[in-house]
Amino acid sequence: MSDFHGIIPPLVTPFKDNGKLDGDALRRVIRYVMDGGVHGVFIAGSTGEAYAMSDAERIEALEIAVDEVKGRVPVFAGTARITTEETVSLTKAAEAAGADAVSIVTPYFITPTQDELYDHYKAIAGAVKLPILLYNNPGRTGVNLNPDTIARLAKIENIVGIKDSSGNMGNAVEMIRLCGKDFSFFCGFDMIIHPTLSAGGSGAVPASGNIAPGLIVELYESFQKGNPGRSLELQQKLAPLRQAFGLGTFPAVLKEGLNLMGVDVGKPKLPVRPLSDEARDKLRTVLKGLDLKPVG
């Protein structure tokens, strides 16, 4: 049984101009979202440009997060690689580095069958004691974890939940129905946090939580305190920020948004470019509409 819940932002990974991990800037991001009241932090997910990080960089970022958080909230680590062997190796390293849980997206580039996905996750779960969140993001990976497969995996003791970024509410409702209340369901699509909570979900892993953690935490907590009207109001208020992701190539908007908020995280790794001046001005307007106060 998992007690993971709430708002767990997948953090951006700051890099220096030479491409190396910027540990001081990562600590600033963690302090910023912690001040917003988040219920966990997620290191080296797709938002964190994990695709551009070596295993050693992922573990270094995780160790910094564990040190900065100091047990106040769970620290989740993204440990997916394409092969089962590589993923097991990285997951073991995350366990040794102090992660509270790992999140593992489906293999990408290849297109495994549902039985192959089951065997993949079963092997990883058997190699560690850490709680594991499955991660379904078919728009990025080209691979979809079907609800029936997730229900099979949910029977494995340390597979305790899923982050689903498909945006498919029908699938979400079916996953929650099949897996039961002891299996944590987190939405990864920021536009449907309120509907997910209404369907019995546990929370969200929202990329926009990097920029507006306090707003999204209030959205979650309003629902939990019996005020769904306020929760829905905040969901609608958040929408322009999520829609602003289209102003640049993911995750450029998130990094620029933090930079505008005075939390300097530098640039995304090439080939992703920083925002144009025009796009930056549009993003600044969106932030002001959220009652955030961009600097400069």
Q: Quick one: pLDDT band at residue 264, thresholds 50, 70, 90?
A: very high
Of 255, 251, 244, give the one whose Cα is nearest residue 279: 244
Helices 84-96 + 114-127 axis angle, to 10: 30
Q: Is the pTM of this model over 0.85?
A: yes
Q: Mean pLDDT across the stretch 19-34? A: 97
Question: CATH topology for 6-228?
Answer: TIM Barrel (3.20.20)
When the pLDDT of each residue in the chain is averaged and rounded to a whole number, the result is: 96
Other C-beta atoms closer than 10 Å to the C-beta of 180 total 11
Q: How far apart are CA 142 and CA 89, in angstroms?
A: 24
46-60, 242-256, 281-295: least confident range: 281-295
Q: Quick one: pLDDT band at residue 1, thresholds 50, 70, 90?
A: very low
Amino acid at 23: G
pLDDT of residue 3: 83
In tens, the pLDDT along 273-286 reads 999 999 999 999 99
Three-state DSSP class for residue 47? coil
Q: How far apart are CA 93 and CA 290, in angstroms?
A: 39
**Concatenated DSSP letters for 173-229?**
HHHHHHH-TTSEEEE--GGGHHHHHHTT--EE--GGGGT-HHHHHHHHHHHHTT-HH
Give φ, ψ of 75 to 5 degrees. Answer: -110, 120
205 is in an annotated binding site: yes
Q: Is pLDDT of 2 > 70?
A: no
Q: Which residues are annotated as catalytic?
A: 135, 163
Q: Are 238 and 219 in contact (CB under 8 A)?
A: yes
Burial state string for 18-36 with b = 16 or more CB within 10 A and e = fewer than 16: eeebbbebbbbbbebbeeb
Of 159, 186, 176, 144, give the one whose Cα is nearest residue 45: 186
Number of residues in the chain: 296
Q: Please enumerate in sequence order all residues whose Cβ is within 8 A of that of 241, keeping only pairs 6 or more positions apart, or say none.
A: 190, 208, 211, 212, 257, 286, 287, 290
Q: Domain residue spans in the chain?
A: 6-228
Listed in sequence order, the DSSP H helices in the chain are: 23-35, 55-69, 84-96, 114-127, 138-141, 147-153, 169-179, 193-198, 213-224, 228-243, 252-260, 277-289
Element (H, E) at 17: none
Positive/negative CA dihedral, 106, 112, 114, 117: negative
What is the phi-psi region of residue 289: left when phi exceeds 0, alpha when psi lies from -120 to 50, beta otherwise?
A: alpha
Q: Is pLDDT of 263 > 70?
A: yes
Q: How far apart are CA 170 and CA 155, in angstroms?
A: 22
CA distances from 60 to 23, 43, 52, 291 (A): 8, 10, 14, 34
84 is in an annotated binding site: no
pLDDT of residue 293: 81
pLDDT of residue 296: 57
